[in-house]
Structure 1
Amino acid sequence: METERYYISVQSKSIMKNQGDSPYELIIDATDQQVAELRSLFNALEDYDQAAMFRAPMPGIPYHHDSPNDGYDFQLKAIYRTLYNLGTEETKQHVSSLTDKLDTIG
């Protein structure tokens, strides 16, 4: 299948074909199927984000014992793994630098 260039903003969970449509952080080359899978990951991330937001005001549940936060973390890692695999060389370098920083945090 033929790939096309896409401009990605993880922060706004957007996937754009046109570079000037909105601010973006990363660039990938992907097929329609790969873009659909990335959109699905962004949707799941949003679901976990909403669940965590409703739980946030409840005191006494540590972050590392909170399943919405675990799900959010898992989805975010899956998104960055996908972006690394589909990314341009610059995108791969950026994602690698992020994961290096995350690995040092624990």
Structure 2
Amino acid sequence: MANEHEASYYERKPYYVSVQAGSILEDPTVTSYELAITANEEELNRLQELMEEYASMDEAQASVYALSPFRSASDKQINAGTDGLLVDIYRLLYELGTDETKHHVATMGLFPEGSLQ
């Protein structure tokens, strides 16, 4: 039985991801998605953690803006944390992605030429 679970843990399955909506789906017909990937449980968990962390940081930033819209920190400083997470998310999506997903991520302009190999 342990071998069955271990095999399913490492087995890669297709998933459909919307970074904008923060969703990872097994059924592409449920809602719209942006990118298709294949991932095992460990890879899926890593992606879910990154997306949850991104959503938490995004919400925290929104509340900071609401509480102090006239503070002196630049948008670049404020957005650095979420931007770094987005890069991590898209790098992982590239690694797990279908050919079409890899092409899409590579042409987004997030990564220097040749850095995704």
Q: Report the TM-score, using the length of structure 2 for normalisation.
A: 0.80
82, 87, 92: which one aligns with 1:82: 92
Which residue of 1 is the match for residue 20 of structure 2? 11
4+ runs deviating over 2 angstroms: none
Deviation per residue, 1:52-95 (Å, 9 max, x gap):
101214212211232xx211011100000000000000000000
Q: Which runs of 5+ in 2 are unaligned?
A: 1-9, 113-117
Match of 2:105 in 1: 95
Aligned to 1:37: 46
SS in 2 for 1:52: helix
Distance 1:97 1:82 in 2: 15
Partner-residue secondary structure (3-state), 1:15: strand
After TM superposition, the structure 1 stretch with the greater mean CA deviation from structure 2, 56-65 or 12-21, is 56-65
> RMSD in angstroms over aligned alpha carbons?
1.4
The residue type equivalent to 1:78 in the other structure is: D
Tell me the equivalent position of 1:22: 31
Number of equivalenced pairs: 100
| Partner SS, residue 95 of structure 2 | helix
User: Match for residue 73 of structure 2?
Assistant: 61
Return the index of the structure with the highest Cα Rg: 2
Residue-by-residue CA offset, 1:19-44 (whole Å, 9 max, x unaligned):
10110000000001111110000110
Letter in 1 for 2:55: E
Give the letter for the 1:70 counterpart.
A
CA distance in 2, matches of 1:48, 1:54: 10
* Residue segments in structure 1 that go unaligned for 5+ positions in a row: none
Q: TM-score, normalised by structure 1?
A: 0.87
Tell me the percent identity. Answer: 34
